Structure 1
Amino acid sequence: MFDTIRNNSKILMGLLALLIIPSFVLFGIDGYNQRDAKGAVVAKVDGQEISQQEWDAAHQREVDRMRASMPNLDAKLLGSDEARYATLERMVNDRLIAVAAQKQLLVTSDQRLANYLQRDPSIAGLRGADGKLDMDRYRQMAASQGMTPQMLEEQVRRDLSNQQVLSVLQASAVASQRQSDGALQAYLQRREIQMQRFEPANFVAKVQPGEADLEKYYQAQSDRFRSLESVDIEYLVLDAASLEKSITLSEQDIKTYYEQNLQRLAGKEQRRASHILINAAKDAPAAEREKAKLKAEALLASLLKDPKAFADLARKNSDDTGSASKGGDLDFFAKGAMVKAFEDVAFELKQGEISSVVESEFGFHIIQLTDVKAAVAPTLESMRPQLVADLRQQQAKRQFAEFAETFSNSVYEQADTFKPVAEKLKLTVQQAQGLTRSQATQQGLLSSPKILDAVFAEDAISKRRNTAALEVSSNTLVSARVIQHRPAALRPFAEVKDEVRTQYVKDQALSMAKAEGQARWVDWKNQPAQAQLGASLVVSRDQPQGQPQAVMDAVLRADPARMPVLLGVELGQQGYAVVRVNKLVTREEPNPQQHAQSRQQFARLLGSAEAAAYLSHLKSQFKAEILVSKPKAVAAS
């Protein structure tokens, strides 16, 4: 066969050119490669498409973030259809806001970006004792999110620009006292109720199914008793974290790394200063700036007569609210932390010396140098743990880069086994049984949509060959191979009989509870004196007393003019409730502090409501649409 191909290669090349080149002309090479890779289009915003692949990746990032912050959170919640749909809705909203920011020319200046990054706690933690940013750790932080520092900064810039779309609207929401008081009075209204609940648990003993009942139920509800499609797999993981554990370092490696980085580790000299700032925007009228300068010069003249009055004058006159309350104190800082005009003067002053008036983009400063902290080089022993960790991480990443090509080629070229590449790279072949298509039933790497999509692909199941090397996270490659496939199927009645009985009893008890509750509601409406209700209880939105939301909604919708009124309330899987709403109860007058807090809360709620309304307007303006169906549980909410 191969001889035939070689002997007729020119003819074959001609045929391939006729077939392939037109498709490149129509779609472009990138489009040809990427069209299928990204999967189906799941949403559109202003003509921009969101693909299934982008949705999967975004949800995986959300899952990883949630698991990191709440390790004990039920994985089933994170992998549910409702959670995935919520991720897609957030993606659409984010795209909407980004489009609006672009159309409205909302940009973030370099100075605003620098100020934000200066205050960001996650970045502040990467600064050494000298205040200098540890660039290696900064690059590592960006890499952990799959980005370079430049990409991270551009993302922050975009986020700050996007925030402007809604933040001004939210901050500008103002409610009058009459408006907020009226709304809060209605929202926090209290009502006295009495209630009788009809719960399924009280009817379980009355359900006595026979064999025929269970078989009939099994046939009618067969979808409940189907096994999920599943696969058993073996898989191979190449990741920098595992490689790091196997790396050993010589004493000379550590010493050399220490000496190479001594200047960085020692940091820079730090200075502590206080200042008085008289605000004057760079683009303010000349007369306004001159007035600010004259005020600063008058304060300087006063300080030169009495330098000890610096802190007092700063508290009374400085426009820098962050430092004014501390007598102008800015604490220690290194070069690169302040604007250049300020920094140049601060690093020329002697301890205790007061500068002349210094002009910067913020206005006019008077600076007093209060302390100097010289750079101190740490010892090798004090830095050993950090040096060892950094070196291991660096070498592991280099080793990963060297191994990645071998790994990717080997799992493809020897597609029916992992043994050769595992032996060559000293990796362990792992196994997992009973994987399903749902992320919620898997843990760790195997919850990745990339892996699940690959192992449940038709070729992977039918041919039992290694998947391609999948990059499931930064510096992590995985290849998997299906070794057994079990299609979804109706489980035999004998196998699920106990489960059928449990479900049957549960459903029948729920039906009986609801029927009894509805019957009592009708009877008690006709004969109010016969109503057997519990003790009276006062409820409100902020104090629901543990009542189900369905009860609270019904109680608060009841017309005060018709009280007392008897209500029948469906409680879903919790059964049924008959509730009598007796009367309104006067709300206790809040103290001034509670009143102020309530008004602030109402203003925030009003701002959120206006932002939501504006977002709805943007959806219409920019033709945002989600092209996948909403899960039933979400649709019902």
Structure 2
Amino acid sequence: MLQAMRNKLHGWPSIIVLGIAVLAMSLFGMERYFTSGNDTFVAKVGKQEISQRAFQDRMNQLRQQASAQQGEHFDASIFEKPETKQRVLDAMIDEQLLLQANTEWGMRVSDQAVRDYIGAIPAFQVNGQFDPISYRAWLVSQRKTPEMLESDIRESLSAQLLPDAINDSTITSDAAVDQFLSLLTQRRDLQYFLLPKPALADNQVSDAQIEAWYKAHLADYMNPEQVSLKYLEVNAADLKLDVAPSEDELKKRYADEKQRFVQPEQRLVSHILINVPTNATPEQQKAALAKAEKIAAEANPGNFAKLAEQDSQDLGSRRQGGDLGWLEKGVTNAAFDSAMFALDKGQISKPVLSSDGYHIIWLRDVRSGESKPFAEVRDQLVKEATAAERDRKYNELAGKMADNTYQNPASLEPASTALGLPIKSTPLFSREDGQGLTANPKVVAAAFSDDVLVQGNNSGLIDLGNDHSVVIHVDKHVPAAARPLAEVRADVQRRILDERIAAVAKKQADEALARLRKGDSMPVVAKSLGATVVSVKDAVRGQSVEVPAPLLAQAFLVPHPAAADKPQFTTVDMHDGNYALLAVDKVEGGDLSKVPKEQREALRRQMAQAYGSEATRELIEMLKAGTKIKINKNLM
């Protein structure tokens, strides 16, 4: 081929063609050279970048949370929508703006706050107390160091510093609470009557009318599109393992992971904290040290708990007499750690300076490290080895199924034969009426997708959770089709008559409303229509069960009466083909003396939180206005 081109391209025309080609290739090459250093961040907030990795990590975290919460109803496609990605990125930008504001305004999360947060995590507690063994086991399972976890928590808490400060400083006045409560408990005197459903003078419906109405409302009479599926399935719970782990394998696993079964040295500690303010002056530092030294001089095992309750500024441990429970190396900060492990049992330290302030530490007891013997953890090792082997086999088989069905997209047969997996089938189902497997949103989305339904390909591997996956192929397809008129004729006729009745009822209600507004009395109008007036005193929003819900909702939307003898009238659609006439005679504010103090305070907190959230939103908008923000949507 190249020789043929060479034979045909000769002379000055070939030089021009080759020159253009070389120039184009050079320009494209130069562009690639100069754009190779293109931005790799999804967004840049001021000088701080939000990397593509950080964005993907956040998306994965939210996806996993949604999957855990929604189970089989989880739809992963939601996280592929541009609007979802934009909402997540907007939240990350807001966080970054708040973090930068923290730095600029000197706000930080204390080490003690991080420790308190970790200590309160239920996964790290046994019998309501922080358990170092559970903490360390979790770190190992997540492949994290204490520093990594603390950094993650510090960043999470940092993003809440300003919102929390705003919420804490938000003042909700008694007048605002009273005003809201007055509206919430407002009472209204009502009168109403239900109009009887009118009789039709003309209840004849012609064939032409039925056909015209049917054609105009054809979408109401469609049989839904349906498919049936063939599918291959891999479920770890059904996999049979070839052999159980041998004793030698278990012992090797024990030796390789022995540190998991070692109880490190632990120390039972109490402390008293004297805070040193951020950016403290020398005088403030001296005052804090003097106070700490005085307490340390007075402290002994007999009065330590009392001094902690009296003087400690660590609110988390103060009520427990300064008790921090059993601690091991690496749980606290370096200064505290060093002092704690330098003490002998029963000894009380001199003041120890950390980033939080001065600590007086009492070492109450010591528990030396020990290792659990192989026999004690053998059953656990068997379970772990079996689970690991089952996971390995599942991943291997699911991976082969995915590869084979991708390489042979028109059929499941090759994968079934190669892997020894039976081809299973489903009955016909629509997007809404599936059961079992075909009710799973991910299966439904794949079954009706263009690639699977229209192109006739196998689906990709559909993860159903808990090491359970399928690949599907459409077996039969029944397009959506209108039900024949003969089948739905009676329903069409009934709906035509219902529309006529509704139109007459609306006209009747409007005429009755006009009479009331001209001055006719409620009982007179009601009697002329064969209805009975119902009076309700002190109806309360959402609480007066004797009033039909549509009437009660509308009653609190009607304006106040202009005067005591001039009620406000309106018609109310009862959403069942009937109408009612409503009169609001009187409006009174709620009796605030009957509102319990607890309810008032709960409302105050809710209002403060709402006001605080709005103030935080305004702050973020202000920070955005003063910060250069760049977004690379192509990297989202």
Same fold (TM over 0.5): yes
Q: Any residues of structure 2 matched to 1:431-470 within 5 Å, and which?
A: 431-436=425-430, 447-448=440-441, 452=444, 454-469=446-461
Would the alpha carbon gap of residues 166 and 595 (structure 1) be closer, same or farther in structure 2, given more than 3 Å must change? closer
Letter matched to residue 219 of structure 1: K
Give the secondary-structure state (helix, strand or coil) at the position aligned to 1:356. coil
2:556 paired residue number: 555
Give the secondary-structure state (helix, strand or coil) at the position aligned to 1:289. helix
The match for 1:229 among 222, 225, 232 is 225
How far, CA to CA, are the matches of 1:47 and 1:552 in structure 2?
A: 47
* Conserved 8 A contact 2:267-2:367: yes
Match status 1:493 vs 2:498? no
Give the Å deviation of 1:464.
2.7
How far, CA to CA, are the matches of 1:548 and 1:527 in structure 2?
A: 24
Give the secondary-structure state (helix, strand or coil) at the position aligned to 1:311. helix
* Conserved 8 A contact 1:231-1:485: yes
Match status 1:301 vs 2:293? no
How far, CA to CA, are the matches of 1:204 and 1:396 in structure 2?
A: 71
Q: Any residues of structure 2 matched to 1:498-517 within 5 Å, and which?
A: 500=492, 514=506, 517=509
Match status 1:605 vs 2:610? yes
Letter matched to residue 315 of structure 1: E
* Conserved 8 A contact 1:254-1:388: yes
Letter matched to residue 184 of structure 1: L
**If the length of structure 1 is used for normalisation, what is the TM-score?**
0.71
Number of equivalences: 576
How far, CA to CA, are the matches of 2:224 and 2:6 in structure 1?
A: 50
Give the Å deviation of 1:319.
0.3
Would the alpha carbon gap of residues 302 and 115 (structure 1) be closer, same or farther in structure 2, given more than 3 Å must change? closer
How far, CA to CA, are the matches of 1:160 and 1:10 in structure 2?
A: 69
Q: Any residues of structure 2 matched to 1:168-317 within 5 Å, and which?
A: 168-197=165-194, 212=207, 215-238=211-234, 241-242=236-237, 246=241, 249-250=244-245, 252=247, 253-254=249-250, 256-281=252-277, 283-303=279-299, 306-317=300-311
Letter matched to residue 345 of structure 2: Q
Match status 1:345 vs 2:345? no
* Per-residue CA distance 1:3-51 (angstroms, 9 max, x = gap): xx9999999xxxxx99x9999979989x9xxxxxxxxxxxxxx9999xx
2:536 paired residue number: 536
Q: Any residues of structure 2 matched to 1:115-134 within 5 Å, and which?
A: 115=115, 118-119=118-119, 121=121, 123-124=123-124, 130-134=133-137
* Conserved 8 A contact 2:456-2:474: yes
Give the Å deviation of 1:293.
1.0
Give the Å deviation of 1:533.
2.7
How far, CA to CA, are the matches of 1:548 and 1:351 in structure 2?
A: 70
Letter matched to residue 369 of structure 1: L
Give the Å deviation of 1:317.
0.4
Match status 1:100 vs 2:94? yes
Give the Å deviation of 1:172.
3.5
Letter matched to residue 553 of structure 2: M
Further displaced range: 615-624 or 457-466: 615-624
How far, CA to CA, are the matches of 2:441 and 2:25 in structure 1?
A: 36
How far, CA to CA, are the matches of 1:429 and 1:107 in structure 2?
A: 59
How far, CA to CA, are the matches of 1:480 and 1:327 in structure 2?
A: 62
How far, CA to CA, are the matches of 2:31 and 2:548 in structure 1?
A: 59
Give the Å deviation of 1:294.
1.0
Letter matched to residue 581 of structure 1: V
Further displaced range: 590-599 or 508-517: 508-517
Give the Å deviation of 1:161.
5.3
| Root mean square deviation, CA, Å | 5.3
Give the Å deviation of 1:310.
0.9
Would the alpha carbon gap of residues 453 and 578 (structure 1) be closer, same or farther in structure 2, given more than 3 Å must change? same
Give the secondary-structure state (helix, strand or coil) at the position aligned to 1:559. coil
* Conserved 8 A contact 2:271-2:322: yes
Give the secondary-structure state (helix, strand or coil) at the position aligned to 1:132. helix
Give the Å deviation of 1:474.
8.6
How far, CA to CA, are the matches of 1:594 and 1:605 in structure 2?
A: 16
Letter matched to residue 536 of structure 2: S
2:39 paired residue number: none
Q: Any residues of structure 2 matched to 1:578-589 within 5 Å, and which?
A: 578-588=581-591, 589=593
* Per-residue CA distance 1:40-63 (angstroms, 9 max, x = gap): xxxxxx9999xxx99999997676
Would the alpha carbon gap of residues 352 and 59 (structure 1) be closer, same or farther in structure 2, given more than 3 Å must change? closer
Would the alpha carbon gap of residues 419 and 446 (structure 1) be closer, same or farther in structure 2, given more than 3 Å must change? farther
The match for 2:320 among 326, 343, 346 is 326
Would the alpha carbon gap of residues 25 and 468 (structure 1) be closer, same or farther in structure 2, given more than 3 Å must change? farther
How far, CA to CA, are the matches of 1:397 and 1:505 in structure 2?
A: 63
* Conserved 8 A contact 1:282-1:363: no
How far, CA to CA, are the matches of 2:162 and 2:400 in structure 1?
A: 48
How far, CA to CA, are the matches of 1:137 and 1:243 in structure 2?
A: 29
* Conserved 8 A contact 2:116-2:316: no
Letter matched to residue 344 of structure 2: K
* Conserved 8 A contact 1:273-1:371: yes
How far, CA to CA, are the matches of 2:318 and 2:376 in structure 1?
A: 38
**If the length of structure 2 is used for normalisation, what is the TM-score?**
0.72
Q: Any residues of structure 2 matched to 1:373-392 within 5 Å, and which?
A: 373-375=367-369, 377=371, 383=377, 386-392=380-386
Give the Å deviation of 1:524.
4.3
How far, CA to CA, are the matches of 2:61 and 2:199 in structure 1?
A: 44
How far, CA to CA, are the matches of 2:474 and 2:323 in structure 1?
A: 65
2:521 paired residue number: 527
Give the Å deviation of 1:275.
0.9
* Per-residue CA distance 1:464-500 (angstroms, 9 max, x = gap): 3323445676966543222222222212234445665
* Conserved 8 A contact 2:269-2:324: yes
Further displaced range: 205-214 or 180-189: 205-214
Would the alpha carbon gap of residues 462 and 326 (structure 1) be closer, same or farther in structure 2, given more than 3 Å must change? closer
* Per-residue CA distance 1:208-228 (angstroms, 9 max, x = gap): 786846554422211111123
Give the Å deviation of 1:354.
1.4
Letter matched to residue 234 of structure 1: K
How far, CA to CA, are the matches of 2:589 and 2:269 in structure 1?
A: 57
* Conserved 8 A contact 1:271-1:373: yes
How far, CA to CA, are the matches of 2:621 and 2:320 in structure 1?
A: 45
What 5-or-longer segments of structure 2 have no aligned partner? 8-20, 36-48, 527-531, 632-636
Would the alpha carbon gap of residues 345 and 445 (structure 1) be closer, same or farther in structure 2, given more than 3 Å must change? farther
Give the Å deviation of 1:160.
4.7
Would the alpha carbon gap of residues 551 and 10 (structure 1) be closer, same or farther in structure 2, given more than 3 Å must change? farther
How far, CA to CA, are the matches of 1:572 and 1:429 in structure 2?
A: 50
Give the Å deviation of 1:595.
3.7
Bigger Cα Rg:
2
* Per-residue CA distance 1:441-465 (angstroms, 9 max, x = gap): 576686455x555544445335533
How far, CA to CA, are the matches of 1:617 and 1:204 in structure 2?
A: 63
How far, CA to CA, are the matches of 1:342 and 1:92 in structure 2?
A: 43
Would the alpha carbon gap of residues 183 and 432 (structure 1) be closer, same or farther in structure 2, given more than 3 Å must change? same
Would the alpha carbon gap of residues 430 and 521 (structure 1) be closer, same or farther in structure 2, given more than 3 Å must change? farther
* Conserved 8 A contact 2:551-2:582: no
Give the Å deviation of 1:159.
5.2
* Conserved 8 A contact 2:186-2:587: yes
Letter matched to residue 218 of structure 1: Y
Give the secondary-structure state (helix, strand or coil) at the position aligned to 2:335. helix
How far, CA to CA, are the matches of 2:619 and 2:573 in structure 1?
A: 34
Q: Any residues of structure 2 matched to 1:362-373 within 5 Å, and which?
A: 362-373=356-367
Give the secondary-structure state (helix, strand or coil) at the position aligned to 1:464. coil
Match status 1:64 vs 2:67? yes
How far, CA to CA, are the matches of 1:23 and 1:442 in structure 2?
A: 58
1:410 paired residue number: 404
